[in-house]
Structure 1
């Protein structure tokens, strides 16, 4: 029984083997020696390039969403109470719940003075036919 040769088998290059096949064979032969340069570096570069390429697409998505938000006319704004009678600024009707008066330090101490240990959990009233999560 003959012994096997230690040389690897290489096909003879013929006219039928294309450039792509030869480059592929060369790539597969070099890959075990330099895995990061031939596989890792191209992969990382594609990921970084894709992030830069997708940034304008994401910005375009949010710009389209912002354009969909309807701008109110002056009459609608008056009806909703968003503008004053002169058409500028906020309405006098609109009262915020609570304004922050004073500095941040005063606000901090006001919040710290609240009793957070005594509280009661209350369920929100549901519409008729809406499941409330009770079994």
Structure 2
């Protein structure tokens, strides 16, 4: 049985094309033609994506920020400002010793707690 030739078949028309020349030189210099461009792309991508990542985190920080006292109390531009002393004196003026306990009416079918 005849053996196959060890030489690869290269058609004469394809040997002059750019992909064929690149493939042949890639076998001789793999790092220079594949590894170095790959690493350069990764490093350049890191530098180009850094501002995009910073924008992402800045947008997140704008949404989640520390609230001021007025925002905690729910006071906007249309609401009056709350003065703690004024509120204290309003509560102090009320008679808190004279009160009567009243039961809340329950919804139909809800357990009222009476045994």
Normalised by the length of structure 1, the TM-score is 0.43
Structure with greater helix percent: 2
Query: Bigger radius of gyration, 1 or 2?
Result: 2
